[in-house]
Each structure stands twice: as C-alpha cells, then as structure tokens.
C-alpha cells in the first residue's frame, strides 16, 4: 500500500519566534553570553541549541548585573522592565509585536476603567504579563465554568491570548454576549495562530493519523494537538525519538503539523523517522 506523508502548511516557526531568535543570534557575541528570563521560546531542544551558542536561560534576575538580558516573545509584566534597568542590565526586547498589541489594548482599557476578561491559560507567561497591564478589574477565564462567579454586567471588554483557538474564543464570546450584549470584543488572536490551526485542521480531516510536533510546554502546540484529535487519531511528540512504528501500521495517509516554536530541524527529523518506519513496513511514501 502506497502511503503518503504530508506536512501541514504554516507548520513550525511563526513570525514572532523567528524574529526573537534572529534578535538573540545577532546579539550574542563570541565568548560573551546573553541571558533570557525564562526560556526564549517554548521548545526545550531549540533552547538547548541556543544555550550552546551562548544564550542562557535564567529563572530570575536577582544576581544579574551589567549583563545583556533578552526579553522573550511572551513579554514581561508591566513595571519589570524599569526594575531591570535599575540593575544596569542592557535590555533587548524580543516581545512579539502581536503580544505587545494585546498588552497595549489591555492597558488602554484599564486606563478607561473597563472591566476586562482575558480568555487564556492562567499560568501562561503571556497571560501573567497581560494581567499586569489590566489593573484590578481584570480576570482570566480558561473554561466556561470560570464565568459562573463573575459579574458580567456593565462596561465589559473581552480580550484573547494571542494563541487561543478561534473556536474557543468564539464560544466564550457567545456565552458572554447572551448575558451582556453590550460586551466589547477585542480579538487579539494572531494571524500565525489562525493560519497554523486552520492548516492543521484541514490536513487532519484528510489523513488517518496526525503527528503534532512541539515542546510539551508549548500552549499553541497543545492546542494544535487538541484540534487535530477532533478529526483523526493524533500523537503529540516533542522529538523524533518518541515516534512508534505501530502508529503507522494500518494507515495510508499520515499528516504532520508543528507548533509556532518548533524549529524546522525537528520537523525534518520527525518526518525522516516516520518515513523510515513506513519504509520498513514495506511501502513507499509520497
């Protein structure tokens, strides 16, 4: 049986991640480390590669002085930048412009004394930073049950995590609009997320099995896997080492998709491993 292996369009690095890595690579100098507060992107293997060229991840900046600190794509909480400058750190800001846009919107709404609901993951660094711009009337909702104890009346504005699934955001909006039709909606989902999710969804409808590749700590990869699993059998892997031959035994069409922080070299390794497994099973691939 001739098997086909297809990689979904727009898989892998998005504009914001590519930009952050380019900024970091341009900033690092031979024999001179630079530091990132938390992992620069949510992909442990790529973070390791960056570490090997001198970009070191740190968990806090307490003992860091007179060094170069790069700010990652998810951004940092309001006010932290000023604190970091006092430590004489040279700040290189690689916050994704789409994340910055969401921060600016939330800040503006907070100044206008609006009540703000952010649809997103409470523990995600982007959301923690976003909340810091939202003032005391800012709430994060992750599941529809989170809406139960909230007062949704009055001047309410709804904003999204940049990597939310559009469908999930739409579901929240429709519940909120039923309660408060005047609620103002700010869809801050970035285009890269929409494109990736659309392509993964379309491919997963056509294949017998999907392999979604990305960091297990990557929210957007997790969402890709959730979307694909609605349409076909889906496996979520971080590297080619996790690929199992039995996944492809009774399959004809195999799809691959990858999160916005998954480097091309990992996608290629995964594809190669799948091809090897398929070939071992005595068939070619297209």
When asked if residue 130 is in the footprint of ligand F3S (CB under 6 A), the reply is no
The candidate with the shortest Cα–Cα distance to 13, out of 48, 43, 33, 39, is 43
185: three-class secondary structure by DSSP: strand
Which residue from 35, 98, 139, 236 is in contact with ligand F3S, where contact means CB under 6 A?
A: 98
SS3 of residue 13 by DSSP = coil
Among 3, 11, 12, 16, binds ligand F3S (CB under 6 A): 16
CA triple 216-221-222, angle to 5 deg: 70
- Residue from 82, 126, 238, 275 carrying the catalytic annotation: 126
Separation of alpha carbons 202 and 223, rounded Å: 15
What does the DSSP assignment read for 243-269?
--GGGGTT-SEEEEEE-TT--HHHHHH
Q: How far is the CB of 19 from ligand F3S (least distance, A)?
A: 8
CB 70 to ligand F3S: min, Å: 14
Is the separation of the CB atoms in 230 and 271 below 8 Å? no
Structure tokens belonging to residue 172:
């929240």
User: Per CB under 6 A, does 7 bind ligand F3S?
Assistant: no
Among 14, 109, 116, 228, binds ligand F3S (CB under 6 A): 14
73 binds ligand F3S (CB under 6 A): yes
- Interface map 23-62 toward ligand F3S (x if CB under 6 A): ----------------------------------------
Contacting residue, 8, 17, 94, 211, with ligand F3S by CB under 6 A: 17
Neighbours of 29 (CB within 10 A): 10
Q: Which is nearer to ligand F3S, 5 or 227 (CB)?
A: 227
Q: How far apart are CA 276 and CA 286, in angstroms?
A: 13
CB 207 within 8 A of CB 234: no
**Residue 96 interacts with ligand F3S (CB under 6 A): yes or no:** yes
Among 4, 6, 15, 177, binds ligand F3S (CB under 6 A): 15
Active site residue 126: yes
Query: Beta-carbon neighbour count of residue 268 at 10 Å?
Result: 13
52: Cβ contacts below 8 Å, ≥ 6 apart: none
What is the nearest approach in angstroms of ligand F3S to the Cβ of residue 125?
12
Residue showing tokens 């990557």: 218
Closer CB to ligand F3S, residue 93 or residue 208? 93
For residue 192, the minimal CB distance to ligand F3S (Å) is 4
Under 8 Å between Cβ of 77 and 83: no
Q: Which of 24, 55, 260, 274 binds ligand F3S (CB under 6 A)?
A: 260
Identified binder of ligand F3S from the candidate list 50, 157, 159, 192, rule CB under 6 A: 192
Residue numbers annotated as active site: 126
Residues of this chain that interact with ligand F3S (CB under 6 A) are: 14-17, 73, 96, 98-99, 162-163, 190, 192-193, 220, 260
């Amino acid at each position: 049986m001739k098997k086909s292996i297809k990689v979904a369009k727009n898989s892998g690095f998005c504009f914001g991640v590519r930009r952050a890595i380019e900024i970091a690579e341009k900033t690092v100098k031979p024999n001179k480390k630079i530091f990132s507060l938390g992992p620069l992107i949510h992909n442990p293997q790529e973070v390791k590669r960056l570490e090997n060229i001198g970009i070191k991840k740190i968990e806090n900046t307490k003992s860091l002085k007179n060094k170069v600190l790069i700010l990652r794509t998810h951004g940092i909480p309001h006010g932290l930048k000023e604190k970091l400058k006092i430590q004489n750190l040279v700040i290189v800001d690689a916050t994704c412009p789409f994340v910055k846009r969401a921060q600016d919107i939330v800040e503006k709404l907070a100044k206008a004394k609006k009540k703000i609901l952010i649809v997103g993951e409470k523990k995600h660094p982007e959301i923690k930073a976003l909340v810091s711009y939202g003032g005391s009337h800012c709430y994060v909702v992750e599941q529809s049950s989170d809406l139960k104890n909230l007062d949704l009346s009055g001047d309410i504005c709804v904003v999204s995590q940049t990597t939310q699934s559009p469908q999930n955001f739409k579901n929240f909006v429709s519940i909120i609009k039923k309660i408060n039709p005047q609620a103002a909606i700010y869809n801050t989902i970035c285009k890269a997320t929409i494109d990736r999710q659309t392509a993964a969804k379309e491919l997963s409808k056509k294949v017998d099995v999907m392999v979604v590749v990305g960091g297990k700590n990557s929210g957007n990869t997790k969402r890709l896997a959730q979307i694909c699993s609605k349409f076909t059998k889906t496996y979520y892997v971080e590297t080619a080492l996790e690929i199992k031959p039995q996944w492809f035994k009774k399959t004809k069409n195999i799809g691959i998709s990858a999160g916005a922080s998954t480097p091309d070299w990992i996608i290629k390794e995964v594809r190669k491993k799948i091809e090897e497994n398929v070939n071992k099973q005595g068939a070619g691939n297209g």
